[in-house]
Structure 1
Amino acid sequence: MNSELIKKENNEVTLKITVSSDEFEKAVNKAYNKLKGRFNIPGFRKGKAPKSLIEAQYGKGVFYDEAINIVFPEVYTKAIDENNLEPVDRPELDIEEIGDGKDLVLSVKVTVKPEVKLGEYKGIEVDKIEYTVKEEDVEARLEQMRNQNARLVTVEDRPVQDKDTVTIDFEGFVDGEAFEGGKGENYNLVIGSGTFIPGFEEQLIGAKIGEEVKVNVTFPEEYHAENLAGKPAVFEVKIKEIKVKELPELDDEFAKDVSEFDTLDELKSDIKNKLEEDAKNREEAEIRNKVIEKAVEVCEVEVPEVMVENQISNMLRDFDYQLQMQGLNLEKYIQYTGMKIDDLKSQMKEEAEKKVKTSLVLEAILKEEKIEVSDEDVNKEIEEMAKMYKMDLDKFKATLRDEDMDYFKENIAVKKTIDMLVENAKIA
Structure 2
Amino acid sequence: MASDLQVKTSPRPQSRLALEVVVPAERCQRSYDKAMRGLCRTVRLPGFRPGRVPRTAVLQQLGARQVWITALEQLLEDTARDVLNDEDLNLLGKLQLQDSFDALAQQFKPGESLTLNMEADVRPSAMLKAYRDLEVEVEEASGEAMLASALEQRRREASTTVPLERTTAELGDVAVIKLLPPPRDGLEEESPLPRERELEVDLEERLEEDETVSGIVPLIVGMAVGETRALPEETKGDEADGEDGEAENSSPARQDPDPENGTNRVSITLCGLKARRLPELDDAFAQKVSRFSTMAELKEALGREIDRQVQEDNKESRQDALLNRLCEEMDVELPQSMVDNEMEVVKEDRKKEFIRRLGLSPDFTFSDKLLQQLELANLEEARRRLQRNLALETVARAEQLTVAETELEDRIRTLRKQLKAGQARKLDSRKLHAFVKTGLLREKAMAWLEEHNTFKVRTAMVESSVEP
Q: TM-score, normalised by structure 2?
A: 0.63
SS at structure 1 position matched to 2:26: helix
Local SS of the residue matching 2:92: coil
The reply on whether 1:3 has 2:34 as its aligned counterpart is no
Report what 1:23 is aligned to.
27
Contact (CA 8 Å) 1:5, 1:83: kept in 2 or not? no
One-letter amino acid of the structure 2 residue matched with residue 48 of structure 1: R
Q: CA deviation at 1:52?
A: 3.2
Q: Per the alignment, do residues 56 and 128 of structure 1 end up closer, same or farther by CA in structure 2, a change over 3 Å counting? A: same
Match of 2:361 in 1: 327
Conserved 8 A contact 2:346-2:381: no
**2:150 is the alignment partner of 1:141:** yes
Counterpart residue number, 2:300 = 269
- CA distance 1:262–1:371, change in 2 (3 Å): farther
Task: Give me the whole-angstrom Cα distance separating, in 1, the residues matched to 2:175 and 2:94.
Answer: 58
Higher normalized contact order (CA 8 Å, seq sep 6+, divided by chain length): 2
Maintained 8 Å contact 1:114/1:304: yes
The one-letter code matched in structure 1 to 2:129 is G
* 1:72-221 map, 5 Å: 72-79=76-83, 84-93=88-97, 94=99, 95=104, 97-127=107-137, 129-134=139-144, 138-149=147-158, 198-201=222-225, 221=252
How many angstroms apart in 2 are the aligned matches of 1:274 and 1:385? 29
Aligned to 1:361: 391
Say whether the 8 Å CA contact 1:366–1:414 is kept in structure 2: yes
Whether the aligned pair in 2 keeps the contact of 1:117 and 1:301 (CA below 8 Å) is: yes
> Are the counterparts in 2 of residues 371 and 416 from structure 1 also a CA contact under 8 Å?
yes
C-alpha RMSD of matched pairs (Å):
4.7
Q: CA deviation at 1:139?
A: 4.9
What SS class does the counterpart of residue 413 from structure 1 fall into?
Answer: helix
Q: Secondary structure at the match of 1:89?
A: strand
- Residue 5 of structure 1 aligns with an amino acid whose one-letter code is K
**Following superposition of structure 1 onto structure 2, how do residues 318-397 of structure 1 map, counting pairs within 5 Å?**
318-323=349-354, 326-327=360-361, 332-335=366-369, 337=370, 341=372, 344-375=374-405, 377-378=407-408
The one-letter amino acid paired with 1:53 is A
Instruction: Give the aligned length.
Output: 379
2:132·2:449 contact (CA, 8 Å) conserved in 1?
A: yes
CA distance change for structure 1 residues 40 and 261 in 2, over 3 Å: closer, same or farther? same
Partner Cα distance (1:110, 1:6) in 2: 11
What is the CA deviation profile of residues 123-176 of structure 1, one whole-angstrom value per residue up to 9, with x for unaligned ones?
A: 222135443233x753553343244245779x9xx978999999999xxxxxxx
Q: Is the 8 A contact 2:39 2:58 kept in 1?
A: no
Aligned equivalents of 1:122 and 1:89: distance in 2?
33
Q: Quick one: which amino acid aligns to residue 416 of structure 1?
A: K
Q: Distance in 2 between matches of 1:166 and 1:368?
A: 54
Q: Does 1:417 align with 2:445?
A: yes
Partner Cα distance (1:357, 1:238) in 2: 45
Distance 2:173 2:12 in 1: 66
State the match for 2:464 in structure 1.
Answer: none
| Offset of residue 424 of structure 1 | 0.8
Q: 2:91 aligns to what SS in structure 1? A: coil
In the alignment, the residues of structure 2 paired with residue 385 and residue 394 of structure 1 have an alpha-carbon distance, to the nearest angstrom, of 5
TM-score between both structures, scaled by the size of structure 1: 0.68
Deviation at 1:91, TM superposition (A): 1.0
| Equivalent residue, structure 1, for 2:63 | 59
3-state SS in 2 of match to 1:75: helix
Give me the whole-angstrom Cα distance separating, in 2, the residues matched to 1:104 and 1:292. Answer: 47
Structure 2, gaps ≥5 residues long: 179-194, 205-216, 228-248, 262-268, 457-468
CA shift at 1:416, angstroms?
1.5
CA distance in 2, matches of 1:46, 1:219: 74
Letter in 2 for 1:7: S
Structure 1 residues not aligned, in runs of 5+: 170-183, 204-217, 230-235, 387-392
Report the 3-state secondary structure (helix = DSSP H, G, I; strand = E; otherwise coil) of the residue aligned with 1:127: strand
Within 1, Cα distance between the matches of 2:364 and 2:196? Answer: 28
2:367 partner letter: Y
Q: How does 1:222-261 map to 2 (within 5 A)?
A: 222-223=253-254, 226-227=257-258, 258-259=289-290
SS of 2:384's equivalent? Answer: helix
* Offset of residue 376 of structure 1: 5.1
Distance 1:165 1:320 in 2: 24
Kindly indicate whether the alpha-carbon contact (under 8 Å) linking 1:124 and 1:295 is maintained by their aligned counterparts in 2: no
User: In 1, are the aligned partners of 2:29 and 2:112 still within 8 Å (CA)?
Assistant: no
CA distance in 1, matches of 2:285, 2:143: 23
Residues 1:264 and 1:89: Cα distance change in structure 2 (over 3 Å): same
> Cα deviations across residues 309-367 of structure 1 (Å, max 9, x unaligned)?
333333223333444553267862335x4x7x3x6434433443333333333222222
Higher Cα Rg: structure 1 or 2?
A: 1
Q: Does 1:298 align with 2:329?
A: yes
Which residue in 1 is equivalent to 2:46?
42
